[in-house]
Structure 1
Amino acid sequence: MITIRTAKPSDIPQLVALLKVLFSIEADFAFDQNKQGHGLTLLLKSEKDCILVAQLQSDNRILGMCTVQTLLSTAEGGAVGLLEDLIVAADFRRQGIAEKLIAGAVDWAEVKGLKRLQLLADKNNRSALDFYEKQGWQSTQLVCLRKR
């Protein structure tokens, strides 16, 4: 049985391991255990953000995760959420875990009164893009840019 719950500090080592897998897929990011651990710690301390985990009850292993980070949107006139870090361990994919994590994120966002959820996905990760489309996410005309 798999349970979706909010993360706790003792989950961080397993979450960092999942982020290592995710960042090996995404060309824009490089894995750094210290940075990812610090980022997770900051999210756990935040009262406006959320980390959800999928936990296997038989051995308490964390099989997947996602985060929701709150932003303010002038377009929406209020708080919106950025869904990030959705990853499921390779041996447990295609079993509905990612769908459960997204549903948990949607529920959390509704409780918090967020007006919209959005996400960024690697444009070359066709399986992820197809998955999000099947979950009802829609592409926009926006392009993500960044500056370091």
Structure 2
Amino acid sequence: MSTNLTFRLAKIEDLPEIISMLADDIYGASRENASTILSKKYLQAFRKIQEDPNQELTVAEINGDIVATFQLTFIQYLNFEGTLRAQIEAVRTRSDYRGQGIGTKVLTYAINRAKEKGCSLVQLTSDKRRTEALKFYEKLGFKASHEGFKLKLD
């Protein structure tokens, strides 16, 4: 199967496919709502992302079919001499396209976007239970250099 990917910013009509990919595993299924009717929360979030110049919700396509997605956030820091960082989140490859090197191409694209924007660092988080994803990120050169903490507020 061809893995000639094209990348573009997501459009509102891409949301059902993006949400479906986010929900397509045991962890995502417990927190995402992939019903055919999109909630106002997803639509509001999409609009905020779309309007924010420091956010990029990207899809990857093969022959016009969306096969992967990720969100890139550019964060201005004061520390490290005021450098810009890129945060990569919600990296997903459609289940029927996994194992074909698409994830590597997606992360390479995201890293190159960060370089284009002048970032000094790319960071990401991944659920500790996603052991295969952790191995994948380490294989790409990411280091588990910090311990992350989250506090759920709802």
TM-score range, shorter chain: 0.7 to 0.9
Kindly indicate whether the alpha-carbon contact (under 8 Å) linking 2:19 and 2:32 is maintained by their aligned counterparts in 1: no
CA distance in 1, matches of 2:145, 2:48: 29
Matching residue of 1:74: 78
> What letter is aligned with 1:13?
P
Which amino acid letter does the alignment assign opposite residue 25 of structure 1?
A: Y
2:124 matches 1:119: yes
The percentage of aligned residue pairs carrying the same residue is: 25
Contact 2:22 2:28 in 1 (8 A): no
Q: How far apart, CA to CA, are the structure 1 residues paired with 2:78 and 2:47?
A: 28
**TM-score, with structure 2 as normaliser:** 0.82
Q: Which of residues 25, 28, 51 in structure 1 aligns to 2:27?
A: 25
Number of residue pairs matched by the alignment? 144
Structure 2: gaps (5+ residues): none
- Aligned partner of 1:7 in structure 2 is 10
Q: Displacement of 1:94 after TM fit? A: 1.1
Contact preservation (8 Å) 2:54, 2:75: no
What amino acid is aligned across from residue 116 of structure 1 in structure 2?
L
Task: Provide the TM-score with structure 1 as the length reference.
Answer: 0.85
| Structure 1: gaps of 5 or more residues | none
1:49: which partner in 2? Answer: 55
Task: Work out the CA distance in 2 between the residues paired with 1:130 and 1:136.
Answer: 10
Q: CA RMSD in A?
A: 2.0
